[in-house]
Structure 1
Amino acid sequence: MNAYHFNFCNTACVALPTGALHLPAHDVLCVSDLHLGKSERIARRSGVMLPPYEVVETLQKLETDIAATNPAQVICLGDSFDDLDAAGSLDEDMRLWLARLQAGKTWVWIEGNHDPGPIDLGGTHRSEITIGTLTFRHIATPEVAEISGHYHPKHRVTGRSRPAFLYDDQRLIMPAYGAYTGGLASHAPDLRKLFGARTIAIMTGQKAIPVPLP
């Protein structure tokens, strides 16, 4: 199997190669930083035209992960949309696709810095949510036992950089799930100051691979 199974704050977790996190005991699938509508936002603000395929690519990946894990609850951990106008500009086909993914599931949109307000796309809108011992929010805080996103961490091994989960005994930061998203190197000061000495990067790609950070 290409996923990586590990224990975080007394909770069994599965890091999927796509960058999604599955919590089987809680029947939860968590993804972070989809940044849907990024190409539309860039075109609107700068006039630079990018191929508008990132919404389809991201939703295809999410549909596959939902089908594989069949969660009762899906948590989108903030910056699900590149801005609120991008959320409102999704075409009808994409809105219907999201509605199909949400059908029969508890769907939670966590507030991010790119999408700080409610959206009219089903589900519920929360600043954070606690499940079991874990609190899910967009940006890391001094609190412990939290899962967050925002930083889009990446880790490099033998010249190849890939989106990565970062975690230690108290904190887990998710990789960006969406297409067209950049990333912050795992050794960047803004990330390393959040973690203790025993930090693991789980690189995504064809297989989720854990790598201890130096």
Structure 2
Amino acid sequence: MKTGFEFGLAGARLMARAAGTLWWAEPGLLCVSDLHLGKSERIARRGGTLLPPYETVDTLARLDAEIAALDPAVVICLGDSFDDLLSTELPEAEALWLARLMAGRRWIWIAGNHDPGPVGLGGAHLAECHEGPLTFRHIAVPGAGAGEVSGHYHPKARITAQGQLLSRPCFLIDRARAILPAFGTYTGGLATTDPALGALMGPEAVAVLTGRRAICLPMPRAASPASAPRRRPGSRG
């Protein structure tokens, strides 16, 4: 089973893992984006639809599995790690779990648009982070130089498998940048056919779908007007 897709970015050899994390083996760096811990609590607090309050446990369990498998020296969380500032007040058991994951390694929180940084927790708190040839930030910057790693958009790709249309979180990768999928259990997603993603990614971009195995395919895009079927003169649409 293919656990990841290997690629190069600005001279760094990286792996987009099937679990939805980015692994840079040379410095032992694990990157994850958009955990959105505490989302069910935030929705309930604001009077929204009640969701089973288990997403933080599930998200931490999957992150724990990645850390156990790779034993990273550095972990970078690319922003929106918590659903809002009040969500940083985790229940004691979950707070201790997160503290255990952070212990003994360099941990970097990148500020997101949902959380300007969980400043009450340990680790470093940065607007963006530069590691070797790579720049880690929450939201991609149009025209940024090669080596940008970001999140924010929660990209998802649709594929047809065994006659069924499936939608999976995915990485988007081109020569200049990589956009990570959301790692949080209750996060939604933006289709790769959305113009916002089409404008960011180069024509050679690929999507690496997450799940039981990593699947790489050309980035699905919206059909251009020129490729749409033309009607014959006088025909009715």
**TM-score normalised by structure 2 residue count:** 0.88
Question: Which one-letter code corresponds to 2:156 in the other structure?
Answer: K
Q: Aligned runs of 1:150-169 on 2, under 5 Å?
A: 150-158=152-160, 159-169=165-175
Q: How many residues align?
A: 213
Q: After superposition, give the CA deviation of every residue in 1:145-183 in whole Å (9 maximum; x if it has no partner).
A: 200000000001111110000010001100000100000
User: CA contact under 8 A between 2:33 and 2:77: conserved in structure 1?
Assistant: yes
Which residue number corresponds to residue 128 of structure 2? 128
Structure 2 unmatched ranges of 5 or more: 221-237
Change in Cα spacing, 1:86 to 1:118, as seen in structure 2 (3 Å) is closer
Give the drift of 1:47. 4.2
| Pair member with larger Rg | 2
User: Which structure 1 residue ranges, 4+ long, deviate > 6 Å from structure 2?
Assistant: none
In 2: Cα distance, 1:4 partner to 1:101 partner: 25
Which residue number corresponds to residue 177 of structure 2? 171
Q: What fraction of aligned residue pairs are identical, expressed as a percent? A: 56
Question: Which one-letter code corresponds to 1:104 in the other structure?
Answer: G
| Alignment partner of 1:28 is 2:29 | yes
User: CA contact under 8 A between 1:84 and 1:119: conserved in structure 2?
Assistant: no
In 1: Cα distance, 2:45 partner to 2:159 partner: 36
In 1: Cα distance, 2:75 partner to 2:214 partner: 20
Which residue number corresponds to residue 100 of structure 2? 100
Please identify, of 49-58 and 112-121, the stretch whose mean Cα deviation from structure 2 is larger. 112-121
| Alignment partner of 1:82 is 2:83 | yes
CA RMSD of aligned residues (A): 1.0
Which residue number corresponds to residue 149 of structure 2? 147
Which residue number corresponds to residue 65 of structure 1? 66
Give the drift of 1:109. 0.5
| Alignment partner of 1:212 is 2:233 | no
Structure 1 unmatched ranges of 5 or more: none
In 2: Cα distance, 1:117 partner to 1:16 partner: 25
In 1: Cα distance, 2:100 partner to 2:11 partner: 33
Q: Aligned runs of 1:179-198 on 2, under 5 Å?
A: 179-198=185-204
In 2: Cα distance, 1:117 partner to 1:102 partner: 15
User: CA contact under 8 A between 2:192 and 2:198: conserved in structure 1?
Assistant: yes
User: CA contact under 8 A between 1:7 and 1:13: conserved in structure 2?
Assistant: yes
Question: Which one-letter code corresponds to 2:35 in the other structure?
Answer: L
Give the drift of 1:195. 1.0
Question: Which one-letter code corresponds to 2:97 in the other structure?
Answer: W
Give the drift of 1:118. 4.1
Give the drift of 1:48. 2.5
Question: Which one-letter code corresponds to 1:21 in the other structure?
Answer: L
In 2: Cα distance, 1:186 partner to 1:57 partner: 26
In 1: Cα distance, 2:202 partner to 2:42 partner: 36
Please identify, of 120-129 and 93-102, the stretch whose mean Cα deviation from structure 2 is larger. 120-129
**TM-score normalised by structure 1 residue count:** 0.97
